[in-house]
Structures are given as structure tokens and as C-alpha cells.
Amino acid sequence: MPLAANATPRRRLSPAASRDAALEAARVLLVEEGPQAVTLKAVAAQIGRTHANLLHHFGSADGLQRALIARMTALVVAPIRDAARRSRERKDPAELVDVVFDAFGANGAGALATWMILNGNQDALDPILTAVHDLVEELSRDEDRPDVPIKDETLHLVLAALGDALLGAPMARALGLPRDRARGIMRAMLLRDRA
């Protein structure tokens, strides 16, 4: 059976490396082609493995989705935490806004969340929601000014980043606005909140 044009040739990988390759292939498919493209068969083809091999690692398509959520949560939370701290030190939210918008857009968290919600699998989002909650609580403890509405800021920022990931490009085009206008609006809002 020939590999897909952009598939990785089959080579011997450890179980952990095989699982990691499958999760990265799933993330790329999600970002580039959308949730409907993330099937066990498609992911297997991307990494030169069999459908049965992925079933061994994940148990089912649902297992793959849950593993992908856990992986993306781990990959997204640390950079957001670091950017939030640097943004506070610099008194400039630009980096934080960019990191959050990129997490939901280019890195696929928005597509993943939407996929889970539309599949009726909202419980699968619990790791992401828990990680966001824990991060907000941690940042709140470190806050010099307890009156800064970090929960409100987080809600606005996450919802704006999610909306931008899903509809930002066509909406900006329809309104004749620059593609990065939503980011600019969020930066201005956060600067205003912190003034």
C-alpha cells in the first residue's frame, strides 16, 4: 500500500516515539485540514503506520482525541504562563496576546476545542479548562494588584482568540480590516485594564 505523498516512510520507532509522531501528525491534520481529517486511518498514513498500530496506542478515535488534548494542553500552558509573567514585568500584554492567539489559531487549540464541542464531547475539554483555571489561580496569587480582574481578562482573551481562530480571517476581510485587528483590540483592552 503506497504512502500518502507527504507521509513519513515507515521506520522502527519506540512505542513512545510512535505515539508522539501520531499526536503531532494529528495536530497538523487538525490545523491544516480541519477536524474531519483527523481519523486513525489518516494519522496512520501520515506517519507510515497501520490503523491497527494506532488502535494499539490509543484504543479508539476518542482515545486519540483525548491524547491530543492532553498533549496540546501541555504544549500551550507553559508558554502562556511564561508570556503572562513577562507581560506583567514589561507592563505590555503584546506577547501574551500573541501567544494565546497563536495557541488557538496556528497551533490548533481553537479547532480542537470546536471539534470536541461539536462532537458533544465537552468533557474531553476538562484538561484544558482545568489547566486554564490552575494557571489563573497561580497568576492571581502572584498579582501585586488584587483589583486587576485577571479572570475577566482571561475570559475576554480566550474567547477573542477562539473566535479569531474560527472566523477571524473571513470577518476581517468582510469588514475591510487588517487580519491582526482582533489582536490589536485585545492588546488595547488589556493595557486599559492595567492602566
pLDDT above 70 covers a percentage of the chain that reads 91
Show the CA angle centred on residue 90, arms to residues 88 and 94, nearest 5°. 80
Helix crossing, 126-141 with 150-163: angle to 10°? Answer: 140
Could you write out the DSSP letters of every residue in 147-175? TS-HHHHHHHHHHHHHHIIIIIHHHHHHH
Residues 6+ apart with CB under 8 A from 171: none
- pLDDT above 60 for 120: yes
Question: How many C-beta neighbours within 10 Å does residue 102 have?
Answer: 18
**In whole angstroms, what is the distance from residue 101 CA to residue 113 CA?**
14
CB 92 within 8 A of CB 56: no
Q: How would you label 155-176 residue by residue, b for 16+ Cβ within 10 Å and e otherwise?
A: ebbbebbbebbbebeeebeeee
Ramachandran category for residue 120: left, alpha or beta (phi over 0 → left; psi -120 to 50 → alpha): left
Eight-state DSSP code of residue 59: S
pTM of the model: 0.80
- pLDDT above 60 for 182: yes
Q: What is the pLDDT of residues 58-106, one digit of tens each?
A: 998 888 888 888 888 888 888 998 998 898 888 889 999 999 999 999 8
- pLDDT above 80 for 48: yes
**What pLDDT was estimated at residue 109?**
87
